[in-house]
Amino acid sequence: MTVDVFAISPQEWEIFRRKLTYKVRFQLGGVCSDIEDLVQETLTRFHRALGEDNVRRSESVGAFLNGICNNVLSEYRRRLWREIEYDADAHPDSFIRPTADILEMRNSIDVALGRLSERDRAVLTAFYLQEQEKEKICQRMGVSDAQFRVIISRAKERMRRLLLEASATRGH
């Protein structure tokens, strides 16, 4: 025996709404601004399920509605956990670098690249600056994939060390 959407009276819908509101307030706290939206989403899914004959027994309507509400609340919590709130006090505008800092950084990179061996400079430039594919670089240099990984790893480490030395001499 399926439950008919139109067999539920407006008074029963209002009872469902009140009970769901109580449940959602209890689960999320009374100050949550999304309570009415969550109740409405639950009732919408319930109405859709009734229209698609997903509720088989009329005596299990309450349990079915409770399950839908639990799913809506779980989705809401997951969405909140994924969204990171932006706090202007925690993130001052210091992430926007002044032009002088950018030019100084580029100069440091150029100097560090100049201090690297020819092979290291060629690999880093081709892979990172010119964005060439690894296979083409390996073919041009006559090295295997494993050798390339070792070369680029060591070149990056030398570059990192040179940039740290330059930063230390500038006093930053």
Does residue 152 share a domain with residue 101? Answer: yes
The phi and psi torsions of 31 (rounded to 5 degrees) equal -95, 0
Is the pTM higher than 0.85?
A: no
Instruction: Render each residue's pLDDT in the chain as its tens digit; 172 residues.
Output: 455 655 778 898 899 999 999 999 998 887 888 899 999 999 999 988 888 887 777 778 888 889 999 999 999 988 888 776 655 565 555 556 677 777 888 888 888 888 999 999 999 989 888 888 999 999 999 999 899 999 999 999 999 998 888 877 766 5
Q: How many domains does the chain have?
A: 2
Domain membership of residue 124 as a residue range:
95-170
Residue 149 falls inside a structural domain: yes
